[in-house]
Amino acid sequence: MPAMTSVDADAPAGTAGTGTPAEVVGPLVRGVGVLRRLTEAGGTLSPSALERATGLARSTVDRITGTLSRMGYVRADGRDIVLAPRVMELGNAYLAALRLPALLDARADALADELDESVSLAVPDLDGIRFIHQATRRRTLSVSFRIGDLLPAERTAPGALFATEWTDPDWTRWREHRSGTARDATFFALPPRAEPTDHGTLIDTFPEQVERARRDGWALDDQLIEPGLVAVSVPVRDPGTGRVACVASVVSHTSRHSAADLRTSLLPRLRTTVEAMEADLRAAAPVRPGPAPAGLATWTTASKHQLGRDFVESLARGLTVLTAFGEGRPALTLSDVARATGLSRATARRALLTHEHLGLVAARPDRTFVLTPRVLDLGFPPQSRTSLPRLAGPHLRTLAEALHEPTALAVLTSDGEEIQYTASAAAGRVLTVHITVGTRLPAPATALGRTLLADTTPALSDVRSQGYALVDEELESGVRSLAVPVRDRTGRAVAALSVTTHAARRTLDDCVQTLLPALRSTADLIQTDLRTASRFTPVPPT
């Protein structure tokens, strides 16, 4: 188990706690606290609620959220502050550096499909376990945990397996920390318990649970998290060290499997999958780092000049330091971080010390730094269950307001014959097109459909080459519609974005000259968010 940090992660976000190193960057501590409070609240809080949750002055909250908005990490939604998909780049940096999701998620997904049960991968995080992959079954009654969610070790099967490697100081720190969290108040993925009636029993029996896991080589969760939830877990060991790299679990509920049934019917198949995962780890070739990033934080100076005191440059620089890590860059020296960000060594050092104090970065004996699972606290869980319509919605509304025309997002139906509207934004006009989400129309008769069919239909080669489709009064008299594709990380068109107008308002030339650039810019924004959000978790198209 990693050494437990001395920082109190549950202290008010506006304070750095006792024993704070002199070089800790206060604005960065406060900004991280705001992101954590937003995460704990499910991704949305009003400025006044953030003020209460953090203990910060309203002016400080406004400056921090304004800076986070400039970074694309939050956005305003009416009177609320809402986490935005781009905040996932922080968690993506950790997951990419870890490599385990990229190497093992296909095995986990295949097992979930085979068993028709949820399968998860988890890593240790201080006195808890944190999910790094979830293959969840979509049922009326299903597991709702997300990537990044943190659970207490003593209430999970993975926790018992990780604790088999704890040292005596680790056990001492665990007991000290858990004695003050009897209601699981620090584990926000769990429903609050009205009374901690079983907390003492769990603490007392956890060592026995750990010894069983050490003896058996696997562990069972028989409704420890909540009534009805059961899981069986097996450790995936690092081929180089033999230590537990992560834990794979099959999760179900008692209406489908009893705890005993998990052991007899599902454990053998889980063990087979874990053996294959360990073989994948042994066979994995070292990552050849591509060109190291450079100047990641140089943009912050221009933002400071433009926005003045409303832009907290030390916060922006500090968060950008986290994105210097990634695939092929799991451990970086101070010099590496300074080069990647374009910051001075002194500035990079203060940011790293602050992140170490907050538990986001760990220093290693070889003078390098690595990200910890706690980086996933910064906005990842609420965003990891997003969908394409939810992701695109704010962009559609902004475009509709700018053009004063209705906008829409659509996907092809499974047979490829029709389009289905999945999101829309209305325009404030008397004469306008009303688009109802869920409506289906013949794909060949719409600009959206032609855009989506263009990659696979030779007759639409002109649409493919020009990158847009323009339909003039073919579906209905007076209606002109312009559409462009929205592409995923592989370049495949997974949806199309359109703007619709009346023939009396805009000529065909005006549609191409005026509407098309704005439409393409919005599609680019949606694609950027989609590619960030889908790097380690699927984003459903509907």
Residue 12: pLDDT over 70: no
pLDDT number for residue 289: 76
Strand partners, 326: 329
**Residue 474's pLDDT band (cuts 50, 70, 90):** confident
Which pLDDT score, from 0 to 100, does residue 200 have?
66
Distance CA 378, CA 88 (A): 8
Residue carrying the six token digits 């003020």:
51
DSSP 374: G
Residues 151, 386: Cα–Cα separation, whole Å: 21
Most confident range (mean pLDDT) of 189-193, 260-264, 403-407 is 403-407
Burial (CB count within 10 angstroms: exposed 0-12, middle 13-18, buried 19+), residue 283 = exposed
Residue 341 · residue 95 · CB < 8 Å: no
Dihedral, 325, 331, 332, 337 alpha carbons, nearest 10 = 20
Name the CA dihedral angle for 96, 97, 101, 103, rounded to a multiple of 10 degrees. 100
- pLDDT digits 0-9 by tens, 412-469: 999 999 999 999 999 866 456 677 899 999 999 999 999 999 999 999 999 999 999 9
- For residues 204 and 192, give the distance between their C-alpha atoms in angstroms, rounded to a whole number: 21
* Spatial separation of the C-alpha atoms in residues 435 and 421, rounded to whole Å: 8
At 235, list the tokens.
Answer: 């450790």
Q: Residue 202 has what pLDDT? A: 80
130 vs 410: CA distance, rounded Å: 35
Q: What is the pTM of this model?
A: 0.92
Residue type, 66: G
The residues that bridge with 407 in the sheet, in sequence order, are 425, 499
Percent of the chain at pLDDT exceeding 90:
79
pLDDT tier at 253, thresholds 50, 70, 90: confident
pLDDT digits (tens, 9 = 90+) for 112-126: 999 999 999 999 998
- pLDDT score, position 193: 58
pLDDT for 244: 98
* SS3 of the chain: helix, strand, coil, percent, to 5: 45, 20, 35
CA 446 to chain centre: 34
Question: Can you tell me the mean pLDDT for 475-500?
Answer: 93
Q: How far is residue 232 CA from its own chain's centroid?
A: 25
Mean pLDDT of the chain: 91
Positive or negative CA dihedral for 351, 355, 357, 358?
positive
Write down how long the chain is.
542
Could you give the 3-state DSSP secondary structure of residue 288?
coil
Sequence-distant (≥ 6) Cβ neighbours of residue 435 within 8 angstroms: 406, 408, 421, 424, 426, 500
The model's confidence at residue 148, banded by pLDDT at 50, 70 and 90, is: very high
What's the pLDDT at 191?
66
Confidence band of 142 (pLDDT split at 50, 70, 90): low
Instruction: Name the token pair of 27.
Output: 């604005």
Residues 195-224 have pLDDT tens digits of 555 666 788 899 999 999 999 999 999 998
Average pLDDT over residues 392-401: 96
Is it the case that residue 14 has pLDDT exceeding 80? no
Instruction: Report d(CA 397, CA 269) in Å as an integer.
Output: 47
Please check the confidence at residue 183 and state whether its pLDDT lies above 70: no
Between 4 and 216, residue with greater pLDDT: 216
178 vs 198: CA distance, rounded Å: 13
Using pLDDT thresholds of 50, 70 and 90, give the confidence band for residue 476. confident
User: In the predicted model, what is the mean pLDDT of residues 290-303?
Assistant: 91
14-23, 72-81, 470-479, 518-527: segment of lowest average pLDDT: 14-23
